């Protein structure tokens, strides 16, 4: 993987299993655009909710030449108790935006 990847854990202990899952998703993201200049992933577990378990919030900041992609969902609506589901959903959203960027560039250069 050539992609510079930074992983930050907030309000939770760092986990090698979570870091590995993020690295795997970042490698797949890189397959859609070989010139991603950086990817910063923040995993946080905000305060406990009275009616739910611990909710995991995943933020992504991806830099492409000419484009910045930020994925940041409201923890009340877009995140999950399963951190792996949160990671998957955040990277799925990033992949959609990277693909959109690539197709726009391709149609612009025709």
pLDDT tens sequence across 72-104: 865 555 556 788 988 999 999 999 999 998 888
Sorted by where each begins, the domain ranges of the chain are: 9-39
> Cα Rg for the chain, rounded, in angstroms?
15
The tally of CA atoms less than 13 A away on the side-chain side of residue 14 is: 7
Instruction: Report the candidate in 1, 71, 3, 69 with the shortest Cα–Cα distance to residue 36.
Output: 3
Residue whose structure tokens are 């693909």: 99
* Beta carbons of 67 and 74 less than 8 angstroms apart: no
Please state, in angstroms and as integers, the Cα–Cα distance from residue 41 to each residue in 44, 47, 58, 79, following that order. 10, 19, 7, 14
For residue 79, the model assigns a pLDDT of 52
Residue 52 has pLDDT above 60, yes or no: no
Residue 48 has pLDDT above 70, yes or no: no
């Amino acid at each position: 993987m050539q992609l510079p990847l930074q992983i930050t854990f907030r309000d939770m202990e760092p986990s090698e299993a979570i870091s590995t899952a993020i690295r795997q998703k970042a490698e797949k993201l890189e397959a859609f655009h070989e010139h991603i200049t950086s990817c910063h992933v923040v995993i946080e577990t905000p305060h406990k909710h009275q009616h739910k378990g611990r909710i995991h919030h995943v933020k992504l900041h991806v830099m492409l030449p000419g484009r910045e992609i930020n994925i940041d969902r409201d923890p009340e609506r877009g995140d999950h108790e399963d951190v792996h589901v949160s990671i998957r959903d955040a990277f799925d959203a990033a992949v959609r935006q990277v693909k959109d960027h690539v197709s726009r560039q391709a149609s612009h250069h025709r």
